């Protein structure tokens, strides 16, 4: 693989009309991706789609905002995680922007941290307006599996706190249309860096405002390369190597 999208939702309905064409554009770029579940249904559909292509994998988990009444069914998610195509648990975490801070959110997150540990899968973390609590929980639990901070758009100081905990930072499309995250990108070592689209959301320049897709991750790589003053190929190669290691891709 020459390029890797560490976080996308290609199984969602936004691709029902042209999923084949979107996947074909990925194949043209010789890239891979992890399809991220946000509840039990989308976790199932992510795995089903990943099984159909040797360059796609799945992550299964319960998002803090999705199906807020869904109890985290440990046995159901653990059963999904037994599949060799499932390479991570998540996205899971805390979100105090769209939901109220609650012990229930923390409990669901910690259940998924425990499942990642039990299954020896990477942990994909969603965090919005909750970094203090996420950092405290990770520092307390000290997961022994790789921890990926999905859609990282924080300050350099915040980036360093996560790096100090051994986390990986996954940079998304918004880094292409603002310089707010340049410091985080500069200080993130190449061996701790991932790139993602979060497709169909948050498309990078020059597609901002349109539906995102995995092939557009090349624009994230290009922006990171410009900030770090390295070639696009170096960023693509490093992030692909990191993904291969984190997710134990076969």
Structural domains in the chain, sorted by start: 3-246 (3.20.20.140)
Report whether pLDDT(174) > 80.
yes
Output the pLDDT for position 15: 98
CA-CA-CA-CA torsion sign (82, 147, 65, 140)? positive
Q: What residue has token string 């994909």? A: 124
Asked if residues 7 and 151 have their Cβ atoms less than 8 Å apart, the reply is: yes
Output the pLDDT for position 67: 67
What region does 67 belong to: left with phi over 0, alpha with psi -120 to 50, or beta? left
Distance in angstroms (rounded) separating the CA atoms of residues 202 and 107: 28
Output the pLDDT for position 14: 98
pLDDT band at 220 (very low <50, low <70, confident <90, very high): very high
Q: Average pLDDT in the 46-68 region?
A: 93
What region does 223 belong to: left with phi over 0, alpha with psi -120 to 50, or beta? alpha
The two three-digit tokens of residue 165, written as one number: 């905990």
Q: What residue has token string 């169909």? A: 200
Distance in angstroms (rounded) separating the CA atoms of residues 85 and 219: 27
Sheet with 147-149, strands from edge to edge, namely 3-8, 31-36, 56-60, 86-95, 122-128, 147-149, 168-171, 193-195
pLDDT band at 30 (very low <50, low <70, confident <90, very high): very high
Q: Where are the beta strands (DSSP E) in 48-121?
A: 56-60, 86-95
Report whether pLDDT(233) > 90.
yes
pLDDT band at 65 (very low <50, low <70, confident <90, very high): confident
The two three-digit tokens of residue 123, written as one number: 């942990």
Mean pLDDT rounded to a whole number for the chain = 97
What region does 166 belong to: left with phi over 0, alpha with psi -120 to 50, or beta? left
Q: Average pLDDT in the 74-99 region?
A: 96
Element (H, E) at 149: strand 147-149
Q: What residue has token string 């259940």? A: 111
């Amino acid at each position: 693989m020459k390029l890797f999208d560490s976080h996308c939702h290609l199984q969602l309905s936004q691709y029902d009309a042209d999923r084949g064409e979107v996947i074909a554009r990925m194949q043209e770029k010789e890239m891979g991706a992890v399809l991220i579940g946000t509840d039990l249904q989308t976790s199932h559909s992510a795995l089903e789609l990943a099984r159909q292509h040797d360059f796609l994998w799945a992550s299964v988990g319960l998002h803090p905002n999705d199906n807020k009444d869904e109890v985290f069914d440990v046995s159901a998610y653990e059963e999904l995680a037994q599949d060799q195509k499932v390479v991570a648990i998540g996205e899971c975490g805390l979100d105090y922007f769209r939901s109220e801070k609650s012990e229930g959110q923390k409990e669901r997150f910690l259940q998924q941290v425990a499942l990642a540990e039990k299954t020896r899968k990477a942990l994909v973390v969603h965090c919005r307006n909750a970094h203090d609590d996420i950092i405290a929980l990770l520092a307390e639990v000290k997961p022994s599996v790789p921890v990926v901070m999905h859609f990282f758009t924080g300050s350099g100081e915040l980036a360093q706190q996560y790096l100090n905990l051994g986390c990986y930072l996954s940079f998304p499309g918004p880094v292409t249309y603002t310089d707010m995250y340049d410091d985080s990108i500069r200080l993130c070592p190449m061996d701790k860096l991932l790139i993602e689209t979060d497709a169909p959301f948050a498309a990078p320049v020059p597609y901002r405002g349109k539906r995102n897709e995995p092939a557009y991750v090349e624009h994230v790589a290009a922006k990171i390369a410009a900030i770090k003053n390295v070639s696009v190929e170096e960023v693509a190669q490093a992030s692909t190597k990191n993904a291969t290691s984190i997710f134990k891709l076969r």
